[in-house]
Structure 1
Amino acid sequence: MKTFNLEEAALFLKLHREEVRRRTKAGIIPGVKLGKCWVFIEDDLVAYLRSLYATPRQALQVGHEEKQLCHSLNAVRRGGLVSPHQAASELDALLQLKIKPKHKNSTTS
């Protein structure tokens, strides 16, 4: 298993070393900092690069025999949008305190 330091990983990825350091620190590029040095495994960098490959488009699959249905035609519509005003009034109705009517005193003087 071959390992790279920051400089070698930057050359391998064809990126500036600070960009590699920033992306690694953010968890985008796989790597680890041991003490003061970054260490990268070649296989992990290859996998990272392969994850960036563009996926083949459906339009490019001209000779494909299996018929694929359009997802939008098969979609089931559920619910809809609620206006912010309607949502706020429903929330207000739910949060209103239930006030019991006061009993009137039936005694007279």
Structure 2
Amino acid sequence: MKTLNLTEAAQFLKLHPEEVRRRAKAGVIPGAKLGKRWTFIEDDLADHIRSLYACTRQALQVGHEEKKLCHSLNAVKRGGLDSPHQAASALDALLQQKTKPRRKNFTTS
């Protein structure tokens, strides 16, 4: 297990050292601050890069059969509002302030 300092990690990730420091401080890049210096494990950085890879996509299949690759046409609509007017009125109802009824002032003479 090889450890890297901030400069080495920046070279490994091909980023500016200040960017690596900001991302590590925010928890985006795995690293630890030991005393006054950042330390990174090379395997953790490689795993972090792998986690950013795009998911594997289904290859376009060419053949005699016609295959439907777009599944969104068969999607089932569940819930939600039907019109923009309904959406606006629902939003207005959510944003309305909750107010208590005013007390009536009774004076007796």
TM-score range for the pair, normalised by the shorter chain length: 0.5 to 0.7
* TM-score of the superposed pair, with normalisation by structure 2: 0.65
- 1:62 equivalent to 2:60? Answer yes
Which amino acid in structure 2 is aligned with residue 25 of structure 1? Answer: K
Which amino acid in structure 1 is aligned with residue 36 of structure 2? Answer: K
- Residue 30 of structure 1 corresponds to 30
Q: How many residues align?
A: 93
* TM-score of the superposed pair, with normalisation by structure 1: 0.65
List runs of 5+ in structure 2 lacking aligned partners. Answer: 102-109
- 1:84 equivalent to 2:74? Answer no
Q: Name the stretch that deviates more: 72-81 or 38-47.
A: 72-81
Q: Name the stretch that deviates more: 71-80 or 31-40.
A: 71-80
Give the whole-Å Cα distance in 1 for the aligned partners of 2:95 and 2:29: 44
CA RMSD of aligned residues (A): 3.2
Alpha-carbon offset, residue 26 of structure 1: 1.0
Alpha-carbon offset, residue 71 of structure 1: 3.0
Alpha-carbon distance change, 39 to 70 in structure 1, aligned in 2, over 3 angstroms: same
Q: Deviation string for 1:61-87 (max 9, x for gaps)?
A: 13489x666432332212332322255
State how 1:42-57 maps to structure 2 within 5 Å. Answer: 42-57=42-57
Bigger Rg over Cα: 1
The sequence identity of aligned pairs, in percent, is 62
